[in-house]
Amino acid sequence: MKIFDNTEIAFSLKSDSQLERAYFLFRMIQNEPMVKIGSAVTNFALKANLPIERLIRSTVFDHFCGGVTEDDCIPIIDNMYNNGKVHSVLDYSVEGKDEEASFDGALEKILRIITFCEEKKSIPFAVFKPSGFGRFALFQKISEEKELSIEEQDEWLRVVTRFNKVCKLAHEKDVPLLIDAEESWMQTAADDLIEDLMETYNKEKAIVFNTLQMYKHDRMEYLKGLHARAQEKDFYIGMKVVRGAYMEKERERAQEKGYPSPICKDKQATDDNYNEAILYMMEHPKMALFAGTHNEESSYMLMELAKQYGVKENDNRLWFGQLFGMSDHISYNLANQGYNVAKYLPFGPVKDVMPYLIRRAEENTSVAGQTSRELTLLKVERKRRKL
């Protein structure tokens, strides 16, 4: 039996009722029209302040999120770490806020989480999104190499200062920091800023991590270019490698604006691109890899590469990551084999986290086989438990 088929280990932390809820949710998510209708109705109900938060909390929110606050997440973090050997990455998943006060609030939140990480072994990384610290449109304008007004120059300086503050504290506390990727039309500004921060804070080891979305066909070229610059300037590369989260939006915008799509031509090309990236990173010693993947084949491949390159299961330069509420068969079985595994654990007010949750549901319907694999494993475990 391949290790990811072991449902007893995969779902050992789920009670019978949690297992039944997961089965119910993935059956719903498998139905694409229902996801679209459900997303629209939920958005409308929340905007109209209809009393549906309790329903959301007891179903989709509690399955995919740790809670409303960091403190809500602690029992889940402790349970995963103490009973499943799986770490957590606290992800403040509030999206789409565009005011300076919101950016400063997000900064304070991440600074607190970094200190929290230092105290708890179960939380090995901190994480944030670039647009949590500055306006998306400002990142976009810089990426498009447009001239900034005096006010925008001051605004960008505040963004750079926020990034520097968290990276400085992460370096002082020895807490690696994952910086998420976003849409392609703002990513160049984020990449350039993060590279500058790697050069400053990654002299002894990788503290600052950027993110590569490998469904973009230019990412291998970017990684190789970054590696050449890192060798020249003598700094370590930290990289979270994922397939990507904005595929439909990317394709639609490219079509609408009449430029070539940045997305790989098909799923196989994306898989090949992903596997090429993790191979390249394992081949080069001054790199640390956080492999964010729900793909079994890529996970098996990475286990083989670790053996090939003499990287021990618990080597801090190699982590596997999955989202909370998904791919438990990968997370818990890898952890059971001694590998470093972390679950992304989103939290935040229900209303503010809904864009994240809707994207998760839509992503599950669009990724071929993802939901059906979850359902098959849940069925096997229900049968094993005689539910």
Q: How far apart are CA 305 and CA 278, in angstroms?
A: 9
Q: Burial, 46: exposed, middle or buried (Cβ in 10 Å; 0-12, 13-18, 19+)?
A: middle
Q: Say which residue the tokens 């799923």 belong to.
A: 267
Q: Do residues 182 and 95 lie in contact, with contact meaning Cβ atoms separated by under 8 Å?
A: no
Task: Please report the DSSP string for 191-235 in residue order.
Answer: HHHHHHHHHHH-SSS--EEEEEETTBTTHHHHHHHHHHHHHHHT-
**What domain count does the chain have?**
1
Q: How far apart are CA 170 and CA 173, in angstroms?
A: 5
Q: Look at residue 45 and tell me if it is in a domain.
A: no
Q: Look at residue 210 and tell me if it is in a domain.
A: yes
Q: Rounded to two decimals, what is the model's pTM?
A: 0.94
Q: For the chain of 387 residues, list the mean pLDDT of each consecutive stretch of 10.
A: 92 96 87 71 72 81 92 96 97 79 94 94 96 96 98 98 98 98 97 98 98 98 98 98 90 95 95 98 96 96 97 96 95 98 94 79 63 92 94
Q: Say which residue the tokens 């604006």 belong to.
A: 257
How confident is the model at residue 286, as a pLDDT?
96
Q: Say which residue the tokens 């984020």 belong to.
A: 190
Give the helix/strand (H/E) hosting 357.
helix 350-366
Q: Look at residue 2 and tell me if it is in a domain.
A: no
Task: Please report the DSSP string for 248-300 in residue order.
Answer: HHHHHHHHHHTS--SB-SSHHHHHHHHHHHHHHHHHSTTEEEEEE---HHHHH
How confident is the model at residue 339, as a pLDDT?
98
Q: Look at residue 300 and tell me if it is in a domain.
A: yes
Q: Look at residue 373 and tell me if it is in a domain.
A: no
Q: Look at residue 82 and tell me if it is in a domain.
A: yes
pLDDT one-digit tens code per residue, 208-254: 999 999 999 999 999 999 999 999 999 999 999 999 988 888 999 99
Q: Look at residue 316 and tell me if it is in a domain.
A: yes
CB-based contacts of 368, cutoff 8 Å, min separation 6: 267
Q: Which domain holds residue 147?
A: 67-356
- Residue 383 DSSP SS3: helix
Q: Look at residue 197 and tell me if it is in a domain.
A: yes
The CATH number covering residue 219 comes to 3.20.20.220
CB-based contacts of 270, cutoff 8 Å, min separation 6: 214, 215, 243, 244, 263, 264
